[in-house]
Amino acid sequence: MVEEKKKKTAKQRPPRRSWLRRFGSVVKWVFILGILGLLFAGGAVAGYVTSIVKDDPVRSEELIQQQVSQNAITGFAYFRDGQPIGQLRTEEDRRLIEFNDIPQLVIDAVLAIEDNSFYDHVGIDFSGTLRAVKQKLLNESVQTGGSTLTQQLARRVFLSLDRTEDRKVKEILLSLRLERFLSKNEILTAYLNKVPFGNGSNGYNVFGIKAASKGIFGLDDLDKLNIAQAAYLAGLPQLPSKYSAFNGVGEFNETAFGRAMDRQKLVLRRMLEENKITTSQYNEALQFDIQSSLAPYTKKAYATFPYLMLETERKAAAILLAINEDKSTGENADSAATAGSDTVLLEEARQQLMTGGYRVYTTIDKKVYSAMHSVSENSDNFTKDSEARGKEQAAGMLIDNKTGAILGMIEGRDFNIEQMNYATQMVRQPGSTMKPIAAYLPALDSGLIQPASILDDAPMILKDGSKGFHIPKNANNRYQGLVTARYALNKSLNLPALKLFNEKVGIEESWAFTKKLGITTLQDNDYNAQTGVIGGLRYGVSVEELTNAYASIGNNGAFNDAYMIEKIVDFQGKIIYQHKVNPEQVFSEQTAYLMTDMLRTVITEGTATTVKSNYEHFKDVPIVGKTGSTQNYGDVWFMGYTPDVTLGMWVGYKEQINTLQGDKQKRQAQTLWAKVMNAVIEKQPELFVTKEFTQPEGIVKKTVSAYSGKLPTDLTDKFTTDLFNAKYVPTDSDDGISKAKYITYGGVNYLPLEGTPDDFLREKIVVKRDKPIQDLIKELQAAFDGMKEHESLAYYMPADAKTDFPTEVDPRVDDGNAPTAPGSVSVSYSTGKAVITFAPSGSSDVVGYRLYRSLNGGAFQKQSVISAGENPVFTPGTPQSVNATFYVTAVDVAGHETASGSVAGGTAPTPEPTPPPEELPGAEATPEGGIVPGGTEEDPGMIIVHPPGSEEVPAGGANNAGGGNNAGNAP
């Protein structure tokens, strides 16, 4: 039993395993655990990757294609002849290239240093990455990048350039996706179009191999790169800022260039190792002088032509915005651009312009632009800078009359001081340069006036909310009365223009006409500005728009909206905008010619004397123009044109409160205009092909009355001959004059009272003006009551007031008494002739004064009369060699006469009967000093000879009611 139990127990023991079986078991479990570990690690990695990319979008093939092919491309601006102005404003220079235009040499150089297994990997090169890590850890001399070109492209297009672990994971996944949707050649081309290469010789950051070739070596054609240059460029993308041979302003950086040359040698060595070049090519490339082949330093266009580039940018961006808004696909882009747009949309259009590779062709003539700036950039042409007022500024605009193309500009004097374009962005008061545009042109075109029409340069009273009333003045501080329209414009008289603007044409019609000539800055309250035609606007006008308006006169009445952008071409070479000249006939050719002829005499006979003195080409290029200035000379202008071009010039200070001082500054616009025109004609004479202003049909010459501008009559004795539009030649007879007997008092003609002595009356031709002087006086006196400050009544009397037709009776009333005697009679001699002065009578009803003379102790005889209010001086022309004695009497409106209490020149003898007329040596008339219609008025101071039997003049000048009945008789 015991043995059986032992046997049973023995059978229950497990068999003993061999070492081989035990090892296999261990391996099995290790394998199982390894698999579990790998699954765990994989899961962890997958979870980690998932956490990184969970918010990253899954990019479709279409999106990848779109973003990879999307490039910011540098745009350029050009002069009218196709010469480049420069690169549009950006800190980058980007120029696209197609794969077929990339030389194999460049591809070999880039792949040798950046990704020598590019055509073999699937976007990730593990061996390359491990090699780069090893080279970095061991600090080996030959180092290659760990990222493939595909990874670099993915990083640049889709990811931030910040070095983070997350970015690397995304980069790898994106690279795999790029390789799936893009060919190797597409990836390589995109890479070479996007990577940076440092700064070019003009300071711009160059992106892409083509921009690098141009910016660093000055080569547009990559086929012209040699091995040394290709290797140099291929080495730059790794650290473009560290290897850039040029700094941000295009200056040579020797230290950085040295680093770039070390990098170039590394590229050449890699190319040799990859059998892309031979040993002889390698050695030859090492010997090549890279530095001497670098592009020469060039200024950025925004440094060379800062104003012009910014203006090109502004105008082109506005056109792009108009195109974007589908305004007739850009056909009306010019007008849409000037209408004002949302600033956000305009900025988006500007960014589109800056990065879209557009080529903007301007109308600017380089020779014209340079000629204009040769004047504006010469400080000798300007007044020295003032601490109080700053720098004297100038703006100019030259426009082609036929098309409206802007050929040149003066935008300011120093871009570093003031970036505003004074020619296009500044708005200032136009002064008298607005007169032709808003007054004379519409009046001429509607037949309201012609050059020979008569306008009244007499005061007008305007309502002024703050001062009650305002009485405008002329610059010469006087009123000249009835003048022709031509004369009024020649002398830039304010009142005739104001009356055309306010009364004949009307403010509403004047501004409507002005807007048709391209003036867009008028405001609603300008329609209430009665002085708007002489510069009293809310804001004013720009140099560009005012010049544009004048160009329509040179273009025979056809207005072309001024433009500076001829066409815009996109990066594919497609013309997306082409300016179309679309003239609008605003006024007739006859009106334009008459206006031109009137502006011609502004230069030859009027206010533009400085232009006349400084312009050098009268024989070759005819010019006409108009001066202008604002109150206190805060702005001065000259607008002039030839048959081909119009040049507008403004001078002033940045702040209008700072005024121009002295005659030279006040005429500065004329001086600069002449200098600019002289320079432009010299530099670009082919612009001036038309040698005269052509007279159209329908212009006739006619002689008319200088009193009314109508057909002369038998009474007319003053004439003017001028040009007329045949449609508006006058058919009515002269009704501006009449013959009347009157008396002059205070410079005004009145109907005489019944008892007024005849020798103080005048009977001759007088003028019948629209507003008689008597009515003007009443209006002035009423206005004075509502004015805090005003001049004397005499100041406002026009020079021809004494020729006015009398409509009112002499306001003086006889007080019933003889007038008080004049006093202080004295005689002196000037140039050998007697001059008698006296103190006027104090009586208010005095009508005038008589001068009596005695020769050699003989009887006193009346010599001359002067009216009350005139200068109390007689100049009878009596020689000093004659023994003469004088006294003066005062005569009132009723004929009462009172003699002075003293005589001058000798002892007063007893009066004797008046002798027969005698001729006295040197007897001359006393001049009146006024202007008489026709110039034939008798002088009131001439010697009057009494006929025999006439009444004696009592000694001492006793009262003589009939003493005034000898008028017209000679002594």
Query: In the prediction, which pLDDT does 951 show?
Result: 33
Query: In the prediction, which pLDDT does 915 show?
Result: 38
Query: In the prediction, which pLDDT does 907 show?
Result: 44
Nearest CA to 801 out of 735, 869, 848 is that of 869
DSSP 82: S
**Tens of pLDDT, residues 695-719:** 999 999 999 999 999 999 999 999 9
Query: In the prediction, which pLDDT does 5 show?
Result: 47
Nearest CA to 774 out of 754, 735, 744, 795 is that of 744
**Cβ neighbour number for residue 223 with a 10 Å cutoff:** 11
Nearest CA to 516 out of 548, 542, 543, 541 is that of 548
- Per the prediction, the chain carries an average pLDDT of 85
Query: In the prediction, which pLDDT does 940 show?
Result: 27
Asked if residue 356 lies in contact with residue 75, where contact means CB atoms within 8 angstroms, the answer is yes
Query: In the prediction, which pLDDT does 350 show?
Result: 86
Q: What is the mean pLDDT of residues 595-601?
A: 98
Residue found under tokens 């501006």: 736
**Tens of pLDDT, residues 508-531:** 999 999 999 999 999 999 999 999
pLDDT at 53 over 60: no
Rounded Cα–Cα distance for residues 254 and 273 (Å): 29
How does residue 130 score in pLDDT terms, banded at 50, 70 and 90? low
User: Tokens for 551?
Assistant: 């160009």
pLDDT at 259 over 80: yes
Please list the alpha-helical segments (H only) found in 517-637.
543-554, 589-604, 609-614
Q: How far is CA 458 from CA 477, 495, 775, in A?
A: 12, 7, 12
**Tens of pLDDT, residues 830-842:** 999 999 999 999 9
pLDDT at 355 over 70: yes
How does residue 309 score in pLDDT terms, banded at 50, 70 and 90? very high
Rounded Cα–Cα distance for residues 221 and 377 (Å): 37
How does residue 561 score in pLDDT terms, banded at 50, 70 and 90? very high
In one-letter notation, the amino acid at residue 967 is: A
More confident residue, 300 or 891: 891
Query: In the prediction, which pLDDT does 203 show?
Result: 80
Q: What is the mean pLDDT of residues 865-886?
A: 92
**Tens of pLDDT, residues 809-828:** 999 999 999 999 999 999 99
Residues 6+ away with beta carbon under 8 Å from 487 = 493
pLDDT at 348 over 90: no
Window from 232-241, 432-441, 482-491 with minimum mean pLDDT: 232-241
**Cβ neighbour number for residue 244 with a 10 Å cutoff:** 23
How does residue 550 score in pLDDT terms, banded at 50, 70 and 90? very high
pLDDT at 141 over 90: no
pLDDT at 755 over 70: yes
**Tens of pLDDT, residues 756-788:** 999 999 888 889 999 999 999 999 999 999 898
More confident residue, 966 or 609: 609
pLDDT at 597 over 70: yes
pLDDT at 467 over 80: no
Q: What are phi and psi of 114, to 5 degrees?
A: -105, -35
Please list the alpha-helical segments (H only) found in 297-342.
301-304, 306-324, 333-338
Window from 132-141, 537-546, 780-789 with minimum mean pLDDT: 132-141
Query: In the prediction, which pLDDT does 134 show?
Result: 59
How does residue 29 score in pLDDT terms, banded at 50, 70 and 90? low
Q: What is the mean pLDDT of residues 92-102?
A: 86
More confident residue, 24 or 958: 24
Rounded Cα–Cα distance for residues 427 and 169 (Å): 58
Q: What is the mean pLDDT of residues 627-653?
A: 96
Asked if residue 93 lies in contact with residue 200, where contact means CB atoms within 8 angstroms, the answer is yes
The residue count for the chain:
971
Q: How far is CA 248 from CA 205, 639, 913, in A?
A: 8, 42, 108
Nearest CA to 628 out of 617, 616, 618, 640 is that of 640
How does residue 61 score in pLDDT terms, banded at 50, 70 and 90? low
Query: In the prediction, which pLDDT does 950 show?
Result: 31
pLDDT at 401 over 90: yes
Q: What is the mean pLDDT of residues 530-558?
A: 96
Q: What is the mean pLDDT of residues 860-889?
A: 93
More confident residue, 72 or 390: 390
Query: In the prediction, which pLDDT does 634 show?
Result: 95
Nearest CA to 646 out of 614, 619, 680, 683 is that of 680
pLDDT at 956 over 50: no
Query: In the prediction, which pLDDT does 927 show?
Result: 33
Query: In the prediction, which pLDDT does 723 show?
Result: 98
**Tens of pLDDT, residues 884-927:** 999 999 999 999 999 988 898 864 433 333 333 333 333 333 33
Query: In the prediction, which pLDDT does 40 show?
Result: 53
More confident residue, 943 or 300: 300
Nearest CA to 186 out of 221, 150, 156 is that of 150
Query: In the prediction, which pLDDT does 970 show?
Result: 29
Asked if residue 730 lies in contact with residue 752, where contact means CB atoms within 8 angstroms, the answer is no
Query: In the prediction, which pLDDT does 364 show?
Result: 98
How does residue 57 score in pLDDT terms, banded at 50, 70 and 90? low
Q: What is the dihedral of CA 187, 189, 190, 195, to 10 degrees?
A: 120
In one-letter notation, the amino acid at residue 238 is: Q
Nearest CA to 318 out of 257, 266, 360, 288 is that of 360
Rounded Cα–Cα distance for residues 643 and 691 (Å): 7
User: Tokens for 142?
Assistant: 């030959």
H or E stretch covering 281:
helix 279-287
Residues 6+ away with beta carbon under 8 Å from 452 = 484, 485, 486, 702, 704, 709, 720, 721, 722, 723, 724
Query: In the prediction, which pLDDT does 54 show?
Result: 44
Q: What is the mean pLDDT of residues 215-232?
A: 94
- Greatest mean pLDDT range, 244-248, 336-340, 794-798: 794-798
Q: How far is CA 433 from CA 40, 110, 545, 594, 864, in A?
A: 89, 65, 12, 17, 48
pLDDT at 273 over 70: yes
Query: In the prediction, which pLDDT does 37 show?
Result: 62
